[in-house]
Amino acid sequence: MLYHSTTYKKAKLYRLSGSIHAPVRGFTTLQAAMAWSLKVGRKIIYQIDCSGFSGCIYKLPDHHNQFGKAWWIDANVPVDRIKCVFSGRRRLTYPPKRRKVQDADWTGVLKGERE
C-alpha cells in the first residue's frame, strides 16, 4: 500500500481520465502522507493498492520524512485501485456547490433588507 497526496483539482482529473498518470508518488504510511500534505498544502490522501506493480515501483532518494519512506510507481494507476482515506472537505462534489452572494451597498446592508 502507498498513500498519495493530491489536490481537489487533480482528484477531479483522476476521475475524469480514469487513472493517476505516471509517475505516481506516495508514502508507505498514512502519517507520512499527512505530514507531506500539511507541508505542501494538499487536502486529499488516496490509498493505492500496489499489487501488480512489483516490476515498476522504485524507492525515491529524497521526499522521505520521519514517519515513512517515499516510493514512486512508473505506471498509470487506474481509479478502481485507489481509495480516499482523507479529505479536508466535508463532501467531494465536483464542481463544489457555491452559495450565491447577494449585492451589498456601501453600508454593508444587503439590498432589499432596508426598512
Query: Residue-wise pLDDT tens for the chain (115 aa)?
Result: 999 999 999 999 999 999 999 999 999 999 999 999 999 999 999 999 998 888 899 999 877 788 999 999 999 999 999 999 998 765 545 455 555 555 544 444 445 554 4
Indicate whether 24 belongs to any domain: yes
Give the integer Cα–Cα distance in Å for 101 and 111.
Answer: 11
Identify whether 38 is part of a domain. Answer: yes
Per-residue pLDDT at 54: 85
How far apart, in whole angstroms, are the C-alpha atoms of residue 102 and residue 111?
Answer: 8
Query: Domain tally for the chain?
Result: 1
Query: For residue 14, which amino acid is it?
Result: Y
Domain membership of residue 70 (yes or no) is yes
What is the span of the domain harbouring residue 39? Answer: 2-87
Asked, for residue 108, whether it belongs to a domain, the answer is no
- Spatial separation of the C-alpha atoms in residues 56 and 79, rounded to whole Å: 18
Q: What is the pLDDT of residue 97?
A: 54
